[in-house]
Amino acid sequence: MIETSSSKGKVGDLSKALYKILNADSVAILGHPHPDLDAVASAYLFYYLRSKMGKASYVLMPHDPPDNALEILKWLKLPLPIYPNNRNHFVPENFEVLVAVEMGSEKRLKMALSSIDLAFSYSEVVNIDHHASNEGFGSLYYIDPEAPSNTSIIYQGMKLLNISLDEISSLLILMGLMGDTNLMTNPNVTPEVLRTTADLMSNLKKYKWSDLVKLLKAKSVKGGKLACLVVERATDRKINGILVRGSFITRQDFIRFNAKPADAEKLVEELFNYLPIPDITILARYDFNLSGTKVSLRSGKTEIDVGSLALRYGGGGHRNAAGFSSPKSPEEILNELFKALDEYLVK
C-alpha cells in the first residue's frame, strides 16, 4: 500500500477573509517564496477587485515571478509587482492588512518577508491558501486543501459575496487554475474544474482563450535550454510497478545558461511529456538562496501521494505536487530519493 497523508478539511471563514481583504483601507499582498502562476494570479485578483472599488494595494513578490506570469500581467494591462529585480517603488510604512497568498505555513511567511526585505508594519494578517500544510494563521484565514488552485478559492469567495465576474477577473482565475493543473493535465482536474473553466471562458470577449494558453505554455529560451538538459539527464526507474523519472540541475548549469530559478520552476512537469509516461517525476535543482537543493515531486496518479513523502524531508505540498529543500547536492539527493522510494512504494 502507498502511504496517504490524512486529508485535512477546509478551515476558516472565506466570506469574512475575502471581505476584509477587499474592504481594508490599506493592503499589502504578499506571494509565497518562488511565486508561481497561481500565486501571482491570486495576488492580482485581490489587487484588481480592490482597484475596481477605487482602493489601492501593493503587490509584493519575494522572488522574481516566472517570465510568462509577467507577460500575462502586461497583456492584461496590470502593473507589475514589486520583486527583487523590480524594487524601485514607494511602499508605505504601515498597512492595515497583509494578505498571505497561498503561503503554505507561517514559516514560509517569515521567509517571504525576509526576502522581500522592506521595512513596513501591518496590523493583521489574512491568509488564503490551498496547501494542506497551512494550519490557518492570521486574524482571518481560509484554507481549502481540496481546491485545485488558490484562484478557485477566490472564485468561490466572489460567489459568496455576490461579486460579478468580469473578463479580467475571469482571466486571472483561469491563469491560476491552468497553472496549478498544468494546463488541465494534472490528476486534480475534475468535472467541476472543467465546469468552472467553461464558466470563466464564457466571460472572455476581447481576450482570446488561445492567446492565454500560448502565454501559459511559453517559457524563456533559457528555460527551454534547461528543459532540454533536464530531459537529456532523466533517469527512469521502475519501482514496484511504478515508473519514477528523476533529473537534476546543478549550480554550473544555471551559470552556463545564465538562467534564473524561475526558468526551472515548471520543469518537473516537463518530465511527463516523454514516453513512457512516468507515474512520478522528481526534479532536484540547485538553489542559490539555500546554497543547497530544491526538490520538486509530482505524482501523475491520485493514489500516489508525494505530499507525505515531501513531509518526511521537512517539506510539504499536495498529494500530487510537493517539494522540500536539502543541503545536499542535486545529484546526491536524487539518488537518495530513488533509494527511499524503494521502501516508500512498497506493495
Closest to Mn ion by CB, 150 or 308: 150
Residue whose beta carbon is closest to Mn ion = 38
Closest to Mn ion by CB, 311 or 334: 311
Closest to Mn ion by CB, 102 or 265: 102
Interface pattern 7-46 for Mn ion (x via CB under 5 A): -------------------------------x--------
Minimum distance from CB of 154 to Mn ion (Å)? 11
Distance set, CA 85 to CA 38, 64, 113, 226, 241 (Å): 20, 7, 16, 21, 45
* Contact present, 283 and 249 (Cβ < 8 Å): yes
Distance CA(133)–CA(138), nearest Å, equals 15
Between CA 104 and CA 152, with CA 279 as vertex, the angle to 5 degrees is: 35
The verdict on whether omega for the bond into residue 81 sits within 30 degrees of 0, i.e. cis, is no
- Told to check if 64 binds Mn ion by CB under 5 A, we report no
Closest to Mn ion by CB, 57 or 150: 150
Closest to Mn ion by CB, 37 or 226: 37
Site for Mn ion in 68-127 (CB under 5 A): 102
Minimum distance from CB of 130 to Mn ion (Å)? 6
Other C-beta atoms closer than 10 Å to the C-beta of 343 total 8
Distance CA(255)–CA(264), nearest Å, equals 13
Q: What's at 221, amino acid-wise?
A: V
* Contact present, 295 and 337 (Cβ < 8 Å): yes
Helices 167-180 and 191-201 meet at what angle, rounded to 10?
150
Site for Mn ion in 168-197 (CB under 5 A): 180
Site for Mn ion in 120-159 (CB under 5 A): 150
Closest to Mn ion by CB, 317 or 330: 317
* Contact present, 297 and 310 (Cβ < 8 Å): yes
Minimum distance from CB of 150 to Mn ion (Å)? 5
Minimum distance from CB of 321 to Mn ion (Å)? 8
User: Which residues contact Mn ion by CB under 5 A?
Assistant: 38, 102, 150, 180
